[in-house]
Amino acid sequence: MKVGICHTKRSGGAKALLKLFSQGIAAHGDETVGIKSHKHIDERLSECDVSFQICDTTQGTSPDDVLRKGIRKHQTENNKRQIIADAPLIPDPGGNKYVSIGFDGIKGSAQFHNENSPSDRRESREIDIRSWNTNGEYILIISQTFKGSGLRHLKPVDAMNYYIELPERIREYTDREIVFRCHQNQMRERMWKTKYEQDIMDAIDNITFHRTKNRKDSKHGIDEMYDAYCCITRTSAGCVGAIISGVPSISEDQFNIANPVSDRNLANIENILKPDREQWVNDLCYAEWSHDELKSGACWQHLRQHVNKNRYELAQTRQSMGLYTTSVQ
């Protein structure tokens, strides 16, 4: 089997991941082909059975974004699959580095082929699923970048308007304190800081904005999240740690990876759904892999058997079951 290794992110960390995944492919006797430009898409990717890349397509216009769009267009037109690596989903108790890896999307839009997974990976990582918190103090809104790959099924203005209007919609059902956790990219959006936040605070009582400069700089981390009454987001994986920590979730987006364990109706916020989460966490543990597992080929072994499955048929089947994927064009 031949895998196109696509250089869609130029950082040192991304290059290291490409090398590790390539080593795992080689461990199974398969071949890799480097894809670094649009010329390589035309000349080399057609020979490959599947592509591998870091990060999915966004609504940006950087050279990396343009290359990702070209790869997606080529693979879609040829009914070939994309393997896409993204940020981890589960905060690891041991601080080990993991990467989520699935087909044809990221997070809730990806196909991980992990349905009804056993508990072995969850147990070996010692992931503790806390009891549901019944004494939470505030509603946590987890915002995200409006032009990112997680919201590319929406126009950026529609994604932004959702978060602008959400606090007022929450106030229709509850007067609980709201903590609005801004995505670090919002720190660079002048209009958000100077206008939209102020407009929300003028209209809504008892709301606090928490600004994070990076992923680690967050007052509302895993332990602090346990104090929340519930969390609400569209597609951010930030809700995963909260749910595992016992914080109920509300989801209003079909691509939210937490939909199987989230309430889908904001009107239920004072009587929120609290389902069993064990199978969901088991499945998530088969959606992400450690750096050692990339290098050894354990991740590739899991994915390899699904490379030649029909991209369109899988997407249509998922939709018929109420599961969604961006693979349907």
Region of poorest pLDDT, from 28-32, 133-137, 258-262: 133-137
Q: What is the pLDDT of residue 205?
A: 80
pLDDT at 291: 97
Contact (CB, 8 A) for 241 and 91: yes
pTM of the entire predicted model: 0.88
Give dist(CA 190, CA 107) in Å, integer: 28
Domain locations along the chain: 2-114+286-320, 138-276
- Of the candidates 178, 147, 165, the residue with the CA atom closest to the CA atom of residue 58: 147
pLDDT at 12: 94
Output the pLDDT for position 203: 76
Query: In angstroms, what CA-CA distances link 81 with 191, 215, 217, 244, 323?
Result: 38, 30, 36, 31, 18
The mean pLDDT value for 146-154 works out to 79
Is 70 exceeded by the pLDDT of residue 323? no
Name the band, by pLDDT with cuts 50, 70 and 90, for residue 61.
confident
Q: What is the DSSP string of 106-131?
A: SGGGSB---TT--SHHHHHTT---PP
Residue keyed to tokens 């209009």: 191
What local confidence, expressed as pLDDT, does residue 281 receive? Answer: 97
Overall size of the chain counted in residues: 329
For 289-320, the pLDDT digits (tens) are 999 999 999 999 999 999 998 776 555 444 43
152-183 burial by CB neighbour count: b if 16+ within 10 A, else e?
bbbeeeebbebbeebbeebbeeeebbbbbbbb
Q: Are 133 and 246 in contact (CB under 8 A)?
A: yes
Per-residue pLDDT of 221-270, as tens digits, reads 445 567 899 999 999 898 999 999 999 999 999 999 999 999 999 999 99
* pLDDT reported for residue 189: 57
Same fold, 2-114+286-320 and 138-276: yes
Residue 192 pLDDT class (50, 70, 90 cuts): low
Say if strands 249-251 and 228-233 run parallel, antiparallel, or are unpaired.
Answer: parallel
Report the run of H or E that residue 288 belongs to, with start and end. strand 288-290
Q: What number of other Cβ atoms are within 10 A of residue 77's Cβ? A: 9
Q: Which class is domain 138-276?
A: alpha beta
Give the per-residue pLDDT at 328: 25
Q: Which two tokens stand for residue 286?
A: 């088969």
Q: What class, spelled out in words, does domain 2-114+286-320 have in CATH?
A: alpha beta
